[in-house]
Amino acid sequence: MSNKKSTAFIWDESYFLHDAGDGTLYEPAGGYLGADCPVEKPEIKRGVKNLLERSGLLGKLAHIPPVPAAREQLEYYHTARHIEAVKRMSIKGGEDCGDSAIVGQGSYEIALLSAGGAIEAVRAVVGSGEIDNAFVLTRPPGHHAQADGGMGYCIFNNAVITAKFAQKELGVKKVLILDWDVHHGNGTEDAFYEDDSVLFISLHQDGLEPAGRGKMEDVGVGKGKGFTVNIPLQAGSGDAVYRYAFEQVVLPAAERFEPELVLVSAGQDGSIFDPLGRMMLSCEGYRYMTRAVKEVAGKYAQKRLVVLHEGGYSEAYVPFCAHAIVEELSGVVTDVMDPFIYAMAGTGYDELLPHQKNKVDEIRRYWLGS
């Protein structure tokens, strides 16, 4: 019997030391806003690692230590000006490298390690074939970061850097990036908006952050037209709505594209308990999406799948959502159950209402005609 571990979990204690700044929600303290801990706090992702350890699941996963991303790898997407600005700010700490993307003391090196963890995951999945898939506890997150500046807690765009690494250094031609963070992955979209070698699919809450981004009509331009698929879902969408969106849009688009590598920007801020979103996903919703994308990777990409943690701001609930994702990736079942599922009774989190179905149907028709 083989002792090969099919799934890797990549993290580093440094990830929990990144200082995203003190404030109230996503605004700096001052005036009428009293100082509070930010919603993007290390305890959330530390809780993910701790739950995996306590359940025994961590011991059944391969551990691959992250290596800092090289400067030239950052420059696959980011400008030298942005990189140098982050490096400079990191010496003193407490500065914003764009729009609500605080660089703490030493954050430059931690951000290199965050991007590097994603790179090492892809290297193991594609380059060496050591593992089938991986979950990377990336912090700081990345999907909002743009070429010339950070945004929304994101300093460097881990998904973009990793996709370009796979193409430039490992010879991967076609990459699917699926982003199910409750906020639109504007930085990732910008990187590939004119590119037909990357299919970017984003499910997000309609009209949330960033303002004006992630519209159904945004499908790419030039040779990239049709290779961006935006699925803006109405506030209050839960497990059933996401399943329907997968069945009607995500899976058909992925199957048409036939990716060689699948990356997931796996925010867990679409949960019913998240303070920054108004969606109603449960742990089982995240489990379903993971199962579906794992099947896509198995069918087209030789199982090569890397999941990157993005947002998620419920300290109590995110660890259980992430645990469900990792269970599904690894195929290992533990005794961990959703401790809050009882509180969702009567909320309609697993219902597909007519207006929600109509919205997804509209998106499907637009996608098919784009």
* Residue 345 pLDDT: 92
Nearest Cα to 111, choosing from 222, 8, 15?
Answer: 15
* Residue 368 pLDDT: 81
162 close to 114: Cβ distance less than 8 angstroms: no
Q: Both tokens of residue 312?
A: 């998620």
Q: Both tokens of residue 141?
A: 């997150």
> How many helices (H) and strands (E) in the chain?
11, 14
Give the chain's length: 370
* Residue 21 pLDDT: 80
Nearest Cα to 279, choosing from 344, 220, 337, 326?
Answer: 344
* Residue 1 pLDDT: 36
pLDDT in tens, the chain (370 residues): 345 689 999 999 999 999 888 767 767 777 777 766 678 889 999 999 999 999 999 999 999 999 999 999 999 999 999 999 999 999 999 899 999 899 999 999 999 999 999 999 999 999 888 899 999 999 999 999 999 999 999 999 999 999 999 999 999 999 999 999 999 999 999 999 999 999 999 999 999 989 999 999 999 999 999 999 999 999 999 999 999 999 999 999 999 999 999 999 999 999 999 999 999 999 999 999 999 999 999 999 999 999 999 999 999 999 999 999 999 999 999 999 999 999 999 999 999 999 999 999 999 999 887 6
Residue type, 199: L
Q: In 147-248, at which residue ranges do the beta strands (DSSP E only) sit?
A: 150-151, 175-179, 198-205, 228-233
Please tell me the pTM assigned to this model.
0.95
Between CA 65 and CA 14 the distance in angstroms is 12
Residue 264, φ and ψ in degrees, nearest 5: -125, 125
Torsion over CA of 41, 45, 47 and 51, rounded to 10 degrees? 170
* Residue 2 pLDDT: 47
> CA 220: distance to chain centroid?
20
Nearest Cα to 350, choosing from 248, 295, 293, 280?
Answer: 280
Alpha helices for the chain (secondary structure H)? 42-55, 71-74, 80-92, 107-122, 158-170, 186-192, 239-245, 251-257, 283-300, 318-330, 354-369
Residue 290, φ and ψ in degrees, nearest 5: -65, -45
Q: Does the annotation mark 144 as catalytic?
A: yes
Between CA 366 and CA 360 the distance in angstroms is 10
Catalytic residue among 18, 78, 143, 144: 144
CA distances, 7 to each of 122, 133, 143, 279, 345 (Å): 12, 5, 23, 29, 33
Residues 6+ apart with CB under 8 A from 65: 10, 12, 120
Residues 6+ apart with CB under 8 A from 211: none
